[in-house]
Amino acid sequence: MIPEQTSPAPAGAPNPLAPDWLAVPDDVNALAASVWPSGAARRDDGVVEIAGVAVTDLAASFGTPLYVVDEQMARDNAARISGALNDAMTAIGSSATSYYAGKAFLSADVVRWMLEAGLNVDVCSGGELALALAAGAPPARIGFHGNNKSQTEIERAVTNGVGTIILDSLQEIDRVAAAAERHGVRQGVRLRINSGVHAQTHDFLATAHEDQKFGLTLAAAEDAVAAIRAHESLDFRGLHCHIGSQIFDAGGFSESAHRLLAVHARLLEHGPVPSLNLGGGFGIAYTPADEPTPIETIARQIAETVAARCAELDIPVPALAFEPGRSIIGGAGVTLYTVGTTKDVVVDVGVDHDLSVGPGAEGRTDGAAAAGTSGDLDAVADLDATVEAGGTALRRYVSIDGGMSDNARPSLYGADYTVRIVDRASDAAPQLVRLAGKHCESGDIVVNADYLPADVRPGDLVAVPATGAYCFSLASNYNFLTRAAVVAVRDGRARVLVRGETEDQLLARDAGLDGR
Distant-in-sequence, close-in-space partners of 442: CB < 8 Å, separation ≥ 6 = none
One domain, residues 309 and 376: no
Distant-in-sequence, close-in-space partners of 251: CB < 8 Å, separation ≥ 6 = 199, 202, 204
Q: How many residues does the chain have?
A: 516
Q: Would 9 be classed as within a structural domain?
A: no
Q: How far apart are CA 44 and CA 226, in angstroms?
A: 66
Q: What single DSSP character describes residue 214?
A: S
Q: What single DSSP character describes residue 420?
A: E
Amino acid at 193: I
One domain, residues 248 and 294: yes
One domain, residues 188 and 306: yes
Q: Would 28 be classed as within a structural domain?
A: no
Q: Would 344 be classed as within a structural domain?
A: yes
Q: Would 346 be classed as within a structural domain?
A: yes
Say whether 440 is catalytic.
yes
Closest CA to 52 of 64, 61, 65, 43: 43
Burial class of residue 220, CB neighbours in 10 A (0-12, 13-18, 19+)? middle
CA dihedral in degrees (149, 151, 156, 162; nearest 10)?
50
Closest CA to 298 of 310, 311, 283: 283
Q: Would 10 be classed as within a structural domain?
A: no
CB 392 within 8 A of CB 347: yes
Which one is catalytic: 124, 310, 440, 471? 440
Q: What angle do CA 172, 173, 178 make, to 5 degrees?
A: 95
Helices (H), 144-294: 151-160, 170-182, 221-229, 251-268
Number of domains in the chain: 2
* CATH number, position 350: 2.40.37.10
User: Which run of H or E residues covers position 436?
Assistant: strand 430-436
Q: How far apart are CA 491 and CA 51, in angstroms?
A: 6
User: What are the DSSP calls for 330-383, one per residue?
Assistant: GGGEEEEEEEEEEEEEEEE--TT---S-SS--TT---HHHHHHSS--HHHHHHH
One domain, residues 429 and 494: yes
CB 288 within 8 A of CB 35: yes
Query: Could you list the mean pLDDT of each consecutive 10-residue stretch along the chain, which spans 516 residues?
Result: 45 83 96 97 98 98 98 98 98 98 98 98 98 98 97 98 97 98 98 84 42 87 98 98 92 94 97 97 96 97 98 98 98 98 90 39 38 33 42 94 97 95 97 97 97 98 98 97 98 98 95 86
Q: Would 235 be classed as within a structural domain?
A: yes
Domain endpoint, select from 274, 297, 324? 324
One domain, residues 343 and 302: no
One domain, residues 52 and 77: no
One domain, residues 278 and 397: no
Give me the sign of the Cα torsion angle 334, 22, 438, 59.
Answer: negative
One domain, residues 139 and 261: yes
Q: Which residues form the domain of 52?
A: 40-63+331-508
Domain endpoint, select from 324, 343, 363? 324
Domain endpoint, select from 294, 309, 324? 324
The β-bridge partners of 96 are 320
pLDDT at 36: 98
pLDDT at 373: 31
One domain, residues 464 and 338: yes
pLDDT at 196: 83
One domain, residues 79 and 219: yes
pLDDT at 383: 39
Q: How far apart are CA 95 and CA 378, in angstroms?
A: 52
One domain, residues 171 and 84: yes
Q: Would 19 be classed as within a structural domain?
A: no
Q: Would 32 be classed as within a structural domain?
A: no
Give me the sign of the Cα torsion angle 210, 214, 218, 222.
Answer: positive
One domain, residues 359 and 269: no
What values do phi and psi take at 322, rounded to 5? Answer: -140, 160
* CATH number, position 110: 3.20.20.10
